[in-house]
Chains A and B, each alone.
Chain A
Amino acid sequence: DQQVKQNSPSLSVQEGRISILNCDYTNSMFDYFLWYKKYPAEGPTFLISISSIKDKNEDGRFTVFLNKSAKHLSLHIVPSQPGDSAVYFCAAKESDMRFGAGTRLTVKP
């Protein structure tokens, strides 16, 4: 049962442009959403989060948008940098955390 879906397995963006990673969920009881970033051979690291009572949270180059009616959230990275190249996991939390399958972002110099 895939409650959190990331439908794009990969995304390629030019350095300096905006990266938009998308995530959809099915469980309306999720009350907290997180994005994790993962480099090869490392564990995921927390990037940014948003509570269900908000629709936007910004931290430097990273902004997460939440559209509860559409059960959709997105992560915007602007401007994108080559060091942002990684796999990004969307996660949603009710009692336990549920992760999407990840999107591999490649930022080309």
Chain B
Amino acid sequence: NAGVMQNPRHLVRRRGQEARLRCSPMKGHSHVYWYRQLPEEGLKFMVYLQKENIIDESGMPKERFSAEFPKEGPSILRIQQVVRGDSAAYFCASSWGRVNNEQFFGPGTRLTVL
């Protein structure tokens, strides 16, 4: 039973390019969460999605960032026109339900913007 999978593990982009980060939740999990960890900081909640729905995007920057979790396929976090400040580790977590308190994390994608 594979855990949460994220790819790519490392992503390098130049300023102005787009970054697409993928997350496949654990089997049977329909709730996905994205977090960002800036250097020397904790994990910051970005967005919570269920299949085909964004439930809570209160932690997501208003511009350039978007997320989706289609009926088929992985969840995608998309960052358009990346800037140096977007360099961070992006973690995805999944859970069976929202009431269920334990979230299982993927290994993260480390984004570096040159």
On A, residues with C-beta under 8 Å from B are 4, 6, 9, 32, 34, 36, 41-46, 49, 89, 91, 93, 95-102
Contact = CB atoms under 8 A, between A and B. Distances in A.
A46 B59 CA distance: 22
B100 to A, nearest CB: 10
Contacts of A89: 42-43
Interface of B: 4, 6, 33, 35, 40-45, 48, 56, 58-59, 91, 93, 98, 101-108
Contacts of A101: 40-42
Given A42-B107, A43-B4, A43-B108, A93 B43 contact: no
Contacts of A42: 107-108
A91 B35 CA distance: 13
A38 B98 CA distance: 23
Nearest to A51: B101
Contacts of A34: 101-102
A49 B101 contact: yes
Ranked 8 nearest A-B pairs via Cβ: A43-B105, A101-B42, A99-B43, A99-B42, A44-B105, A43-B107, A32-B101, A43-B106
